[in-house]
Amino acid sequence: MEKMEKNLYEASLEGNINTLLMLLQQDPLILERVTLDRHGDTPLHIASTLGHTNFIKEVITRKPNLAMECDSQKRVPLHIASAKGHTEAVKLLAAANPEACDACDRDGMNPIYLAAVKGHYEVVKELMQTQPHAARALVQQDTILHLCVKHDQLDVLKLLIEIMNDHEFLNTKDAYGNNILHLAVADKQVQTINFLLLTTTIEVNATNNNGETSMDMLAKVPRDLKYQQIMQSLTRAGAVEAQSSFTQVPQNSRTKMGLDSFKYHKKPTYAQYSREELTENDDWLNRKRSSLMVVASLIATMAFQAGTNPPSGVWQGDSSNDPLRKTGFAVMPSNHPTLYHVFIICNTTGFVSTLSIILLLISGLPFLKHRVFLWVLMVTMWIATTSMSITYLVSIWVLTPTPNSESFRHVAVGITGVWIALMTLLVVGHTVRIITVAMGKLLHRKRTILSPTLMNHVEI
C-alpha cells in the first residue's frame, strides 16, 4: 500500500496520467486514502504547484471534493495554483468548486489575494469572473487594493478598480486610517499616484488616524526627483495639508460673488507658503544645475578635442634640423611658440574648470542646494568660457593667413574681447549683488541681537 501511495506522489510530480489511471484501477479509493492518511500536501496540491493541468483535470473530474482539501497551512489547491500563476489550473479548480475562491489560509489570504500580491494579472482576471465578491474580503483590515499598492502591483490594481468600479471600496481605509493614496505617496510610487489622481475618484485630502493627508505623508519622505513629481501631481489635484484652515463663506456672500458651486475657501497657511517657496527654489536650482552640467560637458569635450588635435595639426614626418619637428608633434610650437604656450594654458584651464564643475554636480554634496554655491559654479563657468574664448582667438590668429587677412584677425579679437568684457561685467554684478544681500542679512541680524539690549536701557 505504501508503494502505491509513493507511486501516486511520483505521478503527481511528473504529471503522469497513465500512472494515475493504473493506480486507480488497482485501488479506486487511493485518492481518499492518501487524503486521510496524510496531513501535508496532497497529490492535487503538488500538481497545482507544478501546473500539471491534465493531471489536475483527471483528479477533480473523479473526485471534485478534493479541491477543498487543505494542507498544513490551510491552503487549498487553488491557493497554490493562484500564487504560482497557473491560469489554466486556476480555471479548472475554480470551476470544480467555486467555494475554494473564498477559502482563507492561516494568514487570512484567499486565492485572489495571493494572485494579486504576486502580480498574476490573468489569474486575478479569471477569479474575478468566477467569484468577484472574494476580492472584497479584508485581511487584517487591508483590502486587496491596499495589498496591491504595498506590493507595487499597478497593473492588477488597475484591473481591480476597473472591474469593481466602487467609489466606497476604493476609498476604504486600513487599520491606521490610510487609503491607498496614503500608501502610494509614502512609498513614492509615482505611476500609481498619477493613475489614482487622474483616472479614479480617490479622496485626495482624506485623513488617517493621525490626521494626516497624502500631502502630509509626502512631507515625511526624502526629497528627490520622485518627491518633486509627486508634489506637482498632488498640487494639481488640489491636495492640501491637514492643518490648512478652511473658512466657510456665507450663502448670500457666495451668491453675490458668483461662487455658488464652491462650499469653502481655503486659507493657505504659513507652512504651505514655505513649502511652495521651497519647492520653487529647489526646481530653479535643479534646472540651473542641469543646464550647467550640459554646458560643462560640451566645453570639456571641445577642450579635449582641441588639446589632442591642436591648430595647424601635427607633423607628418621627422626633421633632422628641428628637434621639435617629429612625427605626431604639434606644428604650432615650431611656427608660433609664444602663442602655443597661451593656447595650452587657456585650453587646459577651460578643460580643468569644466571637469571641476561636472565633479561637483555629480558629487551630491549637501551644500550644492545653496544659491551661493551656484554663484561659485557660475564664476568657474566664466573662467572656462573665457579661457575657451582666448583659445579660439589663438587658433584663429594662427590659422589666418597674412598680410591680406590681417583685418579679419582684428575683427575676431574685437568681437571676442567685447564678449569677454560683457561676461566679466555680468559676473561682477552678481558678485556685488551677493555681497550686498549678505551684508544686509548680517546687519539685520546685528539689529535683532542689539534690540533687546536697547530696550533694557530705555526701561532703566
What string of DSSP letters covers 388-436?
HHHHHHHHHHHHS-TTTTHHHHHHHHHHHHHHHHHHHHHHHHHHHHHHH
DSSP β-ladder status, 264-267 and 245-248: antiparallel
Q: Dihedral of the CA atoms 352, 355, 357, 360 (nearest 10)?
A: -120
Give the Cα separation of 216 and 186 in Å (integer): 10
Give the Cα separation of 92 and 57 in Å (integer): 7
Distances (CA, A) of 284 to 240, 293, 374, 431, 445: 22, 14, 11, 19, 27
pLDDT score at 289: 66
Question: In the chain, what are the domain boundaries?
Answer: 1-137, 298-459
Of 266, 269, 279, 292, give the one whose Cα is nearest residue 233. 279
State the amino acid at position 156 in one-letter form.
Answer: V
pLDDT score at 270: 37
Positions in the chain short of pLDDT 50: 244-278, 280, 452-460
Contact 306, 395 (CB under 8 A): yes
Give 227's contacts (C-beta < 8 A, 6+ positions apart): 188, 218, 221
Q: Any bridge partners for residue 245, and if so which?
A: 267
Domain boundaries 1-137, CATH class: mainly alpha
Q: In a 3-state reduction of DSSP, which class is residue 247?
A: strand
Give the Cα separation of 121 and 400 in Å (integer): 70
Contact 210, 178 (CB under 8 A): no
3-state secondary structure 95-149: HHCHHHHHCCCCCCCCHHHHHHHHCCHHHHHHHHHHCHHHHHCCECCECHHHHHH
Give the Cα separation of 4 and 24 in Å (integer): 10
The sign of the dihedral angle between the CA atoms of 326, 330, 336, 339 is: negative
Of 126, 149, 128, give the one whose Cα is nearest residue 137. 128
Q: Any bridge partners for residue 246, and if so which?
A: 266
The C-alpha cell of 2 is what?
505504501
431 φ/ψ angles, rounded to the nearest 5 degrees: -65, -45
Place of cell 506522489: 9
Give the Cα separation of 101 and 121 in Å (integer): 16
Place of cell 555681497: 435
pLDDT score at 412: 74
The C-alpha cell of 202 is what?
480617490
Contact 119, 153 (CB under 8 A): yes
The sign of the dihedral angle between the CA atoms of 219, 222, 224, 227 is: negative
Give the Cα separation of 386 and 451 in Å (integer): 47
Distances (CA, A) of 275 to 241, 279, 281, 309, 353: 10, 6, 10, 51, 35
The C-alpha cell of 64 is what?
471534485
Fill in the DSSP letter of residue 452. Answer: H
Omega of the bond leading into 403 within 30 degrees of 0 (cis): yes
Contact 124, 112 (CB under 8 A): yes
The C-alpha cell of 457 is what?
536701557
Q: How do residues 236-245 score in pLDDT, each as one tens digit?
A: 999 898 864 3
Give the Cα separation of 452 and 301 in Å (integer): 58
Which helix (H) or strand (E) segment holds residue 226: the answer is helix 225-236
pLDDT score at 453: 46
Nearest-5° Cα angle at 104, 167 to 202: 15
